[in-house]
A = this chain, B = another copy of it.
């Protein structure tokens, strides 16, 4: 598994591009992205668990249900959510416009949107920009970068990656980009994630690999506990790597699935680190739960706690808040067996054993917690269940960003 450059354009046969069409008003930033596979694909997708789903999500779900997609059109600056029938019509038109520009049926295009909720999507601006968008398509890293810029909102960093693996001796590539920074919680945040691969793989196994990967990556990230209306993760596999088709759950599938999970985890971690206002990446590792699912629930409860997050911001080794957050997670455990340690590049410190505090050096704790990546390690002693969850600290800037997001 080798990191490579190029993002979603790293796999063979994919193009990407992005332009500014004016959805973000006076901003000069790009706001419209296109990703395209020159060859037919298999594809898979997961969408938000929120009962209120954006028009783009509803339309993409319909298109995916009709068959594989091979193009993605995405905009930032407007979520096209809570926009009624007009919103649905706009999302459908957006796919049709992209399909026409690419010379494929509109049903083979997925739509994704991110931005403010409840404002009509300026579909005419998108229609007028379609020709320029098509011309922006490139098969190199610049195409990838332009598309990525065009889906960013409050993101402060570009979050992308690509890997190369070998399947039966054939080099195969996976590339991905993600946007997401606020409204991020289990079951995916306001995140859009687009992944391309030139692996040759059946629809069913692509879907299985995606579901498993998301379970251990994007579903283990929390920024602020809000699950968005627009979450979308899409993968397109076009087979241009010419490996023998992956159609059973054998060793080839295992290699592909592991690479996809690795890519998703790296994107998910990057998203947590770039959480709105965040200054620190918070990794909560929980061991000794009855099973993996309950380990994930307990770790998420800690990573989601505003009090734990504020303590991390303040570099305060407040392990009592960690124990408290475990206690209200809704999973049974024996508080008297809990061990808690804090760690970072500056070292590791045991803070709690047998459910009670250990004497520790406040200076050492401060050193550890002043690093920009902190790990909280929890051991319960109830079984083999283990999970890692990523989050971030809660800061003044989170309030600043979200106290006046619309204007």
Contact = CB atoms under 8 A, between A and B. Distances in A.
Interface in A3-59: 49-53
A82 B117 contact: no
A320 B81 CA distance: 8
Interface of A: 49-53, 79, 81-84, 87, 116-119, 182-183, 185, 187, 224-229, 304-307, 310-311, 313-314, 316, 318-321, 323-328, 332-333, 335-336, 352, 354-357, 394-396, 398-400, 402-407
Nearest to A394: B399
A404 B306 contact: no
Given A182-B307, A225-B225, A117 B84 contact: no
A17 B364 CA distance: 41
A82 B357 CA distance: 7
A311 B403 contact: yes
A307 B84 contact: no
A117 B320 contact: yes
Given A51-B333, A117-B321, A314-B403, 15 more contacts: A51-B335, A52-B323, A53-B327, A79-B320, A82-B323, A82-B356, A117-B324, A118-B323, A182-B307, A183-B307, A226-B307, A227-B327, A227-B328, A229-B320, A310-B399
A394 B394 CA distance: 11
Contacts of A333: 51
A156 to B, nearest CB: 18
A265 to B, nearest CB: 23
Nearest to A306: B224
Contacts of A118: 319-320, 323, 352, 356-357
Contacts of A320: 79, 81-82, 116-118, 229
B228 A324 contact: yes
B403 A316 contact: yes
A305 B224 CA distance: 8
Given A324-B52, A328-B50, A407-B316, A305 B226 contact: yes
Nearest to A356: B84
A48 to B, nearest CB: 8
How often does this chain occur in the complex, in copies?
Answer: 2
A153 to B, nearest CB: 13
A406 B320 CA distance: 10
Contact of A399 (B50, B51, B395): B395
Contacts of A224: 306-307
Contacts of A119: 357
A359 to B, nearest CB: 11
A50 B84 CA distance: 41
Contacts of A399: 310, 313, 394-396, 398-399
A210 B189 CA distance: 39
Nearest to A119: B357
Contacts of A324: 50, 52, 81, 117, 183, 226-229
27 contacts: A50-B327, A51-B327, A52-B355, A81-B324, A82-B335, A82-B352, A84-B354, A116-B320, A117-B323, A118-B319, A224-B306, A225-B305, A225-B306, A226-B306, A226-B307, A226-B325, A229-B320, A306-B306, A306-B398, A310-B402, A314-B402, A314-B405, A316-B406, A318-B405, A318-B406, A396-B400, A399-B399
A51 B328 contact: yes
A51 B406 CA distance: 40
A291 to B, nearest CB: 17
B81 A321 contact: no
Contacts of A325: 226
Contacts of A117: 318, 320-321, 323-324
A332 to B, nearest CB: 7
Contacts of A354: 84
Contacts of A185: 328
